[in-house]
Amino acid sequence: MKKTCFLLFSLLWYGVSCLAQTNVIDEVVWIVGDEAILRSDVEKQRLEYGGSLNGNPYCVIPEQLAIQKLFLQQADLDSIYVEDSEVNNYVEQDFNEKVMRAGSKEKLEEYMRMSATQIREELFDMYKNRLIVKEVHKSLTSEVKVTPAEVRRYFKDMPEDSLPLIPTQVEVQILVLQPRIPQEEIDRLKAELRDYTERVNSGTTSFATLARLYSEDTGSARQGGELPYMGKGELDAAFANVAFSMSEPNKVSKIVQSEFGYHIIQFIDKRGDKVKCRHILKHPHIAQADIDTAMVHLDSIAEDIRQEKISFENAVLYASDDKDTRNNHGILTNRKEITDERTTRFEMGELSALSPELARVVDGMEVGDISKPFEMVNSKGMKVCAIAKLKSRIKAHRAHISEDFQILRAVVEEKKSDEIISEWIKEKQKSIYVRINEDWRDCEFQYPGWIK
């Protein structure tokens, strides 16, 4: 990866460390504008990197932090911000993964020598900075466009062993059944939500408090159920219809059924074609007997497919409950976060991020295999049952212009973006105040302009 790209990646993706386990005498080692970089800031990242960092960590890391401060200061100038609720989605996911790796919340707190609240606060600051940096980077490179001719010229004379190595990728089809949810369970959930509404309307408890206590949307629950300003296209259709019909602040909606479960919504504000609201989400509990019934049904469908009584594609069309894949022959699509492009190909790590259960199943399959039924949690947070077909496996290979054009185009776009960011950093260095302690100056910086 190119230096600028590596630097930006480091700014975006550095993790939480265990500074609390060290005894560091703190001091200001750099000042960038009116922002200080502390020795403790450097030590945090050094511990996180371990031995994986190329170069002197006391040179590389402060420079990374200095560039991050340039991005954050630009965000202030351009009024670029991210919603706390968006940040909290990442915080909760990361925190839960850390708890899972540690074995329990108590073990994580013991290892980190921090309370769960302190860990979340540190994660929050990290992810907020990461997302802001990402938005500034997008704004600086938004005009980057690459033509097919430019891509061909760039790779025309490049030696084959210098072409990007494409990891093994898979294309997967999936057929999903939502286990039956008994009417008694639906009635129970609705009774809970009606009780919450009565408590809000009577003034007994605030909506935000109830959301923190009971909402099963973990991302927004910590924010009292609050969502960022969102347009209709960003929301579930049933949810959007109700949210956009509301206009009275603090009013609580009727119960809304969406693909995510059952909600009540509290209107906050409307800004242009976007609405801001709070919600409480409840997932229905699915009984094991209903899961077993769905698994038996899927097993029967899978056997019919293997015996060629029906194609996987037709079985998806008639039986699948997943509307995202039902009209696409069951094929999963992979949305690349950085470029926002969509492809049907997944690296195994990307598939695992989408669904660890699905990735485990696919990992042992041959092309054309139909899996046994398995349980998984879908992108809406609902427990479902599924069977999968491995449509193709593309082995690791050097990129080819005809087969991997989108990937090669992304490489050229990245190079052009890197050049823009590099020039931007050099220009910012000329105008911003920087002071580096004498003991921290003996470095070969990527951008020498720090020392004037």
CATH code of the domain in which 113 resides:
1.10.4030
| % of the chain with per-residue pLDDT over 90 | 56
Which residue, 250, 282, 314, sits at the end of a domain? 282
Query: Do residue 266 and residue 318 come from a single domain?
Result: no
Which residue, 375, 398, 421, sits at the end of a domain? 398
For residue 372, tell me if it sits in a domain: yes
pTM over 0.75: no
| Length in residues, the chain | 452
- Tell me the pLDDT of the chain averaged across its residues: 88
Query: Do residue 318 and residue 176 come from a single domain?
Result: yes
Query: Do residue 187 and residue 176 come from a single domain?
Result: no
Return the ∠ at Cα 408 (arms to 405 and 413), rounded to 5°: 120
- 264: DSSP letter: E
Full residue range of the structural domain in which residue 355 is found: 169-180+286-398
Termini Cα distance of the chain: 29
Number of domain units in the chain: 3
Residue type, 271: R
Query: Do residue 278 and residue 383 come from a single domain?
Result: no
Query: Do residue 118 and residue 97 come from a single domain?
Result: yes
Helix (H, G, I), strand (E, B) or coil at 302: helix
Number of helices (H) and strands (E), helices first, in the chain? 17, 14
Query: Do residue 60 and residue 190 come from a single domain?
Result: no
For residue 159, tell me if it sits in a domain: no
Structural element, H or E, at residue 191: helix 183-201
pLDDT at 7: 45
- pLDDT of 54 strictly over 50: yes
- pLDDT of 307 strictly over 90: yes
Residue type, 389: K
For residue 234, tell me if it sits in a domain: yes
pLDDT at 97: 78
Dihedral (C-alpha) 57, 62, 68, 72: value to the nearest 10 degrees?
150
* Rounded Cα gap, residues 332 and 345, in angstroms: 8
- pLDDT of 401 strictly over 60: yes
* Rounded Cα gap, residues 40 and 118, in angstroms: 16
- pLDDT of 407 strictly over 70: yes
Query: Do residue 355 and residue 429 come from a single domain?
Result: no
Query: Do residue 250 and residue 319 come from a single domain?
Result: no
For residue 154, tell me if it sits in a domain: no
- pLDDT of 362 strictly over 70: yes
Cα diameter, the chain: 77
pLDDT, tens only, 60-73: 999 999 999 999 99
Query: Do residue 51 and residue 132 come from a single domain?
Result: yes
* Rounded Cα gap, residues 285 and 121, in angstroms: 31
Return the ∠ at Cα 418 (arms to 416 and 419), rounded to 5°: 65
For residue 66, tell me if it sits in a domain: yes
Query: Do residue 122 and residue 265 come from a single domain?
Result: no
For residue 150, tell me if it sits in a domain: no
CATH number of the domain to which 204 belongs: 3.10.50.40
For residue 160, tell me if it sits in a domain: no
* Rounded Cα gap, residues 251 and 243, in angstroms: 11
For residue 129, tell me if it sits in a domain: yes
Helix (H, G, I), strand (E, B) or coil at 123: helix
CA distances from 249 to 237, 279, 389 (A): 21, 13, 48
Q: Is 59 left (phi over 0), alpha (psi -120 to 50) or beta?
A: alpha
Which residue, 219, 247, 282, sits at the end of a domain? 282
Question: Do 226 and 220 contact (CB within 8 A), yes or no?
Answer: yes
Mean local confidence (pLDDT), 236-245: 93
Beta-carbon contacts of residue 18 (< 8 Å; ≥ 6 apart): 47, 111, 112, 113
pLDDT band at 13 (very low <50, low <70, confident <90, very high): very low
Query: Do residue 90 and residue 35 come from a single domain?
Result: yes
Query: Do residue 127 and residue 27 come from a single domain?
Result: yes
What are the beta bridge partners of residue 387? 175
